[in-house]
Chain A
Amino acid sequence: MTTSTGSGPAAAARGAGARGAADADQGRGGGFAGSVAAEWTKLWSLRSTWTCLATAVLLTAGPAALGATVLESGGQVANMTAHGMLPTVVMLSQFALVAVASLIITGEYATGAVRTTLTAVPVRGRVLAAKALVLVAAVFPVGLALGGVSIGISTVVFGDAMVFEAEHVAHAVLGTAGYLTAVSLFALGLGTALRSTAGTITATVGVLIGVPMFSTMLNNETILEIASYLPADAGLPLMMGSTDPYGWPAGAALLGAWAAAALAAGYAALRLRDA
């Protein structure tokens, strides 16, 4: 390994035309745009991001193909809609995206990289906002792709027997992407508050699957009522176009509220706790 000490960093920097110490705070760059660029670079320079997203696609395509084949061979295709299987299919693959969302922040706490992040961008709210924006930019298109993959597989397997209405399909694909984005933001907020990857993913699984399953088992009216406002149920009108007990605008508002609440909790922890 070679080491150079001779001219010192200032000389090197001047030679390259970089700024001198005097104009430290002049010049452009940085700010919110800089934070977003940095978070974007960080997200895509980790292998785990690519692995998780590939896993999301596989976990969508696999169950979609399997489920469609089972239904088809059982002769249950009559009146099947193209997007009918979306909520079931996404139930599993959403956790690959939850992992990406969680790792954006908990991965930094686990490795100590968060200290680099916060010394580079000491405005805590800006860090969280940049992470959220980058997450939306990554997850929303992937959500569209997952919806497309699921519907494409259904179409191929069911063939002509299937009901295909372009308007409903578009609604379902957009709704899936919207639901997955909200769930990811929820995980990011929770991750910022909890700081632990395992804790965040466990808590998210609990909210998305655990509580709804438990409430179905209990079959208590009050608990079922509560469960119907959790993110998983709130996603149904977005993906399925259902209107009972509420339509997609209410579902979207609920999802937004869950994401906002988690992000607010995350922001509070980021502001108040030492890094």
Chain B
Amino acid sequence: MISLRNLTKRYGDKTVVGDLCVEIAPGKVTGFLGPNGAGKSTTMRMILGLDRPTAGQALIDGHRYAELRHPLRRVGALLDAKAVHPGRTPRSHLKAMARSNGIPVRRVAEVLEQVGLTEVADRRSGKFSLGMGQRLGIAGALLGDPHILMFDEPVNGLDPDGVRWIRDLMRSLAAEGRTVFVSSHLMSEMQATADQLVVIGRGRLIADAPVAEVIERSSLTAVRVRTPQPAELEGRLLAAGMRVERPGGEELLVTGGTLERVGAAAHEAGVQLHELSPRAASLEEAYMELTASAVEYAAPVPGADDKAGV
């Protein structure tokens, strides 16, 4: 369990992370989303005690990271692939980590095997590809068999095989009851991997909800209608306060309304329907909407009220 309590980081009068309150629970993959510069990495660095919060706390099972006696056995982190000295071999790098936390040195060979770096274990890591660097970072995260894992943009530089591998790894870690906290800007990846989403923009919390709920709540979740009398229906729907898009032909995309309300409006207008179906927003769309509105405008998202009851 990771608890962020009013976590705040300011540089001068610029607030990078503002008053963040989130609990990241075990047993699921929690995706950490936000545009570049939203404060994701800073938040992760504060959890690991690398950066000092201006205010508030980041706690690991109720303790500050620096209080952990063997931090690598509690929390495994992949911050970025560059946290490795290029002149050192993966084996030496991991051996030093193991010794610092009283982890049996035989774990080094185990995690190297697990991430598929056994063959290059004694080569200096400076010449590694980005993907191999990521694997080495992940090996370091797994070294202490920790109950909490944090990955900052883990699929960066991985080939499709590697992306699939890391996705399966995160799923299996969560299935074992571990806390998996992973940041990404690849929404499609999160849709496939995450159970829970924490979305921030400009350091502020925008959403903390299950993936399905984020999609469902999006005002971009629409109702698709096909009718031979699109103009008549459109007028009716607009009058009822819904928003209508006309992609062309006899198709209408209605937002701000439910299937029932659209159906009722068609019935009242006496309009014949060829199709009435829900169209879920993709996570990407939901996310773009969330961050765009929260970042650029202080005012609530238009139509957000309509969605509250969905």
Same complex for A and B? Answer yes
Interface residues of B (CB under 8 A from A): 45, 48-52, 65-66, 68-75, 77, 79-80, 82-89, 92-93, 95-97, 99-104, 106-107, 110-111, 113-117, 119, 124, 140, 142, 145-147, 161-162, 165, 168-169, 172-173, 175-178
- The 3 residue pairs across chains A and B that have the minimum distance between CB atoms: A29-B102, A45-B92, A38-B100
Interface residues of A in 39-58 (CB under 8 A from B): 39, 41-42, 45-48
C-alpha gap A137/B93 in the complex (Å): 21
B120–chain A nearest beta-carbon distance, Å:
9
Q: Which residues of B contact A30 (CB under 8 A)?
A: 69-70, 100-102
Interface residues of A in 13-39 (CB under 8 A from B): 13, 16, 18-21, 24-25, 27-31, 34-35, 37-39
A74, CB-defined interface residue at 8 Å: no
A119 touches B102 (CB 8 A): no
B85 touches A16 (CB 8 A): no
A78, CB-defined interface residue at 8 Å: no
C-alpha gap A31/B92 in the complex (Å): 19
Number of interface residues of A (CB under 8 A): 49
Check A118/B114 contact, CB under 8 A, given A34-B99, A42-B96. no
Query: What are 25 A-B pairs with beta-carbon distances under 8 A?
Result: A3-B116, A8-B172, A10-B176, A13-B110, A19-B73, A20-B145, A21-B177, A28-B102, A30-B102, A39-B96, A42-B85, A42-B88, A45-B89, A112-B84, A113-B84, A115-B50, A115-B80, A116-B93, A118-B49, A119-B49, A120-B97, A120-B100, A122-B68, A275-B45, A275-B51
C-alpha gap A34/B116 in the complex (Å): 27
A21 touches B77 (CB 8 A): no
A45 touches B88 (CB 8 A): yes
What is the chain B residue whose CB lies nearest that of A108?
B85
Q: Which residues of A contact B107 (CB under 8 A)?
A: 13, 16, 18
What is the chain B residue whose CB lies nearest that of A7?
B172
Check A5/B92 contact, CB under 8 A, given A34-B100, A119-B77. no
B165–chain A nearest beta-carbon distance, Å:
5
C-alpha gap A19/B93 in the complex (Å): 21
B50 touches A274 (CB 8 A): yes
C-alpha gap A243/B173 in the complex (Å): 67
B65 touches A3 (CB 8 A): no
B110 touches A107 (CB 8 A): no
Q: Of A35, A107, A112, A123, which contacts B80 at CB under 8 A?
A: A112
A250, CB-defined interface residue at 8 Å: no
A207, CB-defined interface residue at 8 Å: no
A9 touches B114 (CB 8 A): yes
A41 touches B116 (CB 8 A): no
B111 touches A24 (CB 8 A): no
B96 touches A274 (CB 8 A): no
A47 touches B97 (CB 8 A): no
C-alpha gap A4/B161 in the complex (Å): 12
B85 touches A12 (CB 8 A): no
A119 touches B71 (CB 8 A): yes
